[in-house]
Structure 1
């Protein structure tokens, strides 16, 4: 298997020396840390002690399926071993090298109860910083089998994050921990041209965290890479679309209500290669603060449904909107839509993950916006981090003028499984 993987010296060293109770791979995007950690996890599963369970943990089971099981099942990466990894995305268990593995989503504080009482012989944690602290603490306490080990990856976060403050900053006091910090230069699969492009595309916070691999506090603009000349397209010149995957809906009563349509373009370069992008195609917005009348849920439903039936592309007519993704707190509006015959889906409202997806897509030129989306383009340049939250070690944007941004975030995060593999150069925040 090692012969089939182009591994750097640091990757090989991390695989060879990750023999501690807790082993953490940290660093930039596309830095090779995930491949190294997965290779080590395969070796561990092959000889893991019995008498306890093997667990793989991420923000959701779908995230584990995408970020971890998918690569493990890729023969181009892991050769014949890929056939020994059996998993259906969303399932509670899978099989690796004949051993049953529990797949656990840990998206909130309630997740801690999932592993309470479990005896763990081995754990793999995808994106450790998105796990609740109580869950991680409980997991460490569950690893009571002799020889039990944990393997985890993460991108950098706030320097006040619990993982850094309570563990990474105290490694000299934790002899049973091992830690490796990766940059893109540690991934031999990346070309110099690719690395140069990424260093240009990302700016501010995202450059320091995603490219340099630094743990830095959020400050200033949330999307400093935003460039109207690069990211805005005249609606009349929109590229052809393969599909419109979602209408993201942010619901308001006294505040604005916004609906953003997320499409996937059908584009080719001069050599005929796929160059599809995500496109915010069109926007509907109703804002009582600008003098518009306040609407009941029924009136709002009527207007949104009527707008969804209109043309949203200058040349293609009748493209169906596949999902209506609604602010999860808007229970009354979702009920109204249901009563009016329109099914909806509660949105994925992990704010930081949605922001990170949006930032990465903008930086890589994989998200563009039609000039019809005026609410979105008006909000994006002023969208800033909350200084008071930063002082507490939290990444939170200021909750002002963000309704259209929230609507697009709902659409992007909730439909990620649909668009990620459809992009010619899929993004990977944990790679």
Structure 2
């Protein structure tokens, strides 16, 4: 590894963090903004640590899922220009729970819920790397620490900030050396490879809560309006341009609560449009519908508004309704219910002028202004929206976030607001 060459492309903070991590007794933590260079620095430290790791004990990489580990860690190691010196030294088959890195077997562990701790229970671990540590359950993190039983064992981790009450901040970052932690806070200025145009793009895409956390690197509460960029004068349109491709139809299922459906299309101007909505509120109508009735009305809604799109995305809690749709000849997909990432996807599209709502969809337009974070839950460390008047917003989140791989590369370039 040519350290002189690396020194010419890494920032002083990146270099200091690599040296410091290797000298840290147990836990090294890189925190801060997205695209700030913390991942590259942490991976370089990890590679050196792999070479130095004791023969006795496992080496593990931990992430929320196996897929995120492959995307965030394995793929960069195999393809990044910076890691060209690793050619032939990183071996991994897509979907496999192991990789071979610099001749050592490395176990890839998804930790999306509390049950994941069973995957490392009883193991002896010499080196661990954790991607996005705030997304790992606290119980798993504590179990992982208890498995570092080899002399000189280390845990390296990266994260973006979360709420100030998050256990990683209160129990580890703030306590620092007293619990064996050494940490570095990264901002966009710490990544020398970023061009100003890319920084401007990030500033446009990350708004509100996400700008404070992911761009400014703050550990801040989720408070106030969620879609604070919402402007009906900008986002609601009287006329929808020709739809060049239907993307999805989506539905948030309700019996006592409203059932809210809508359809999403790609306009000729390369923006996403919610073109139609259909809502049934049993409290207004004084009658609840069965799954058979909902299926018939939902399918009629699709047939009346342009036919059946490639993807029909349904509230993941509505298993019985999805079964009924299948029996009626309509195949559906369970919506991606990652609430905060889904909200962030919608917010980014609104902020960069790439999502519009047709004026014929007043029900959902009326929900945007009042959608807020639950401040009581935020004080406890959880980012949760207040569950009031959100059925249309859940619907559009399912329809957009679940199909993001389909429309992502078909949209126009983001509109970057000019500085005042």
Higher mean alpha-carbon deviation, 53-62 vs 83-92, is at 83-92
Q: 1:33 to 1:376 in 2, by over 3 A?
A: farther
State TM-score, norm by structure 1. 0.84
Q: Could you tell me how far 1:394 is from its partner in structure 2?
A: 1.8
Q: 2:56 aligns with which of 51, 68, 90?
A: 51
Contact 2:33 2:186 in 1 (8 A): yes
1:383-394 residue pairs with structure 2 within 5 A? 383-394=371-382
Q: Could you tell me how far 1:309 is from its partner in structure 2?
A: 3.6
Q: Which position in structure 2 is the counterpart of 1:301?
A: 295
Q: 1:51 to 1:87 in 2, by over 3 A?
A: same
Q: Which position in structure 2 is the counterpart of 1:190?
A: 194
Write out per-residue CA displacement over residues 12-69 of structure 1, whole angstroms, 9 at most, x where no aligned residue: 2212221222111111122221222222223323443222222222222222222222
Q: Give me the whole-angstrom Cα distance separating, in 2, the residues matched to 1:30 and 1:52.
A: 32
Q: 1:7 aligns with which of 7, 10, 24?
A: 10
Q: Could you tell me how far 1:418 is from its partner in structure 2?
A: 4.5
Q: Which position in structure 2 is the counterpart of 1:40?
A: 45
Contact 1:61 1:89 in 2 (8 A): no
1:111-150 residue pairs with structure 2 within 5 A? 111-150=116-155
Q: Could you tell me how far 1:247 is from its partner in structure 2?
A: 3.2
Write out per-residue CA displacement over residues 235-271 of structure 1, whole angstroms, 9 at most, x where no aligned residue: 5225633x61x4332110011122344455676xxxx
Higher Cα Rg, which structure: 2
Off by >6 Å, runs of 4+ in structure 1: 421-426
1:26-425 residue pairs with structure 2 within 5 A? 26-81=31-86, 83-174=88-179, 176-196=180-200, 198-199=202-203, 202-237=206-241, 240-241=244-245, 244=247, 246-263=248-265, 278-291=272-285, 293-312=287-306, 321-419=309-407
Higher mean alpha-carbon deviation, 93-102 vs 394-403, is at 93-102
Equivalent residue of 2:240, what SS?
helix
Q: Give me the whole-angstrom Cα distance separating, in 2, the residues matched to 1:250 and 1:89.
A: 33
Q: Could you tell me how far 1:292 is from its partner in structure 2?
A: 7.2
Q: Could you tell me how far 1:191 is from its partner in structure 2?
A: 2.2
Contact 2:60 2:109 in 1 (8 A): yes
Equivalent residue of 1:16, what SS?
helix
Q: How many residues align?
A: 409
Write out per-residue CA displacement over residues 269-313 of structure 1, whole angstroms, 9 at most, x where no aligned residue: xxxxxxx5555454333222343743210111122223334444x
Q: Could you tell me how far 1:416 is from its partner in structure 2?
A: 4.3
Higher mean alpha-carbon deviation, 127-136 vs 227-236, is at 227-236
Q: Give me the whole-angstrom Cα distance separating, in 2, the residues matched to 1:239 and 1:32.
A: 40
Higher mean alpha-carbon deviation, 328-337 vs 277-286, is at 277-286
RMSD: 2.9
Consecutive unaligned residues of structure 2, counting only runs of 5 or more, are: 415-420
State TM-score, norm by structure 2. 0.86
Q: 1:341 to 1:221 in 2, by over 3 A?
A: same
Q: Which position in structure 2 is the counterpart of 1:270?
A: none
1:420-431 residue pairs with structure 2 within 5 A? none
Q: Could you tell me how far 1:129 is from its partner in structure 2?
A: 0.8
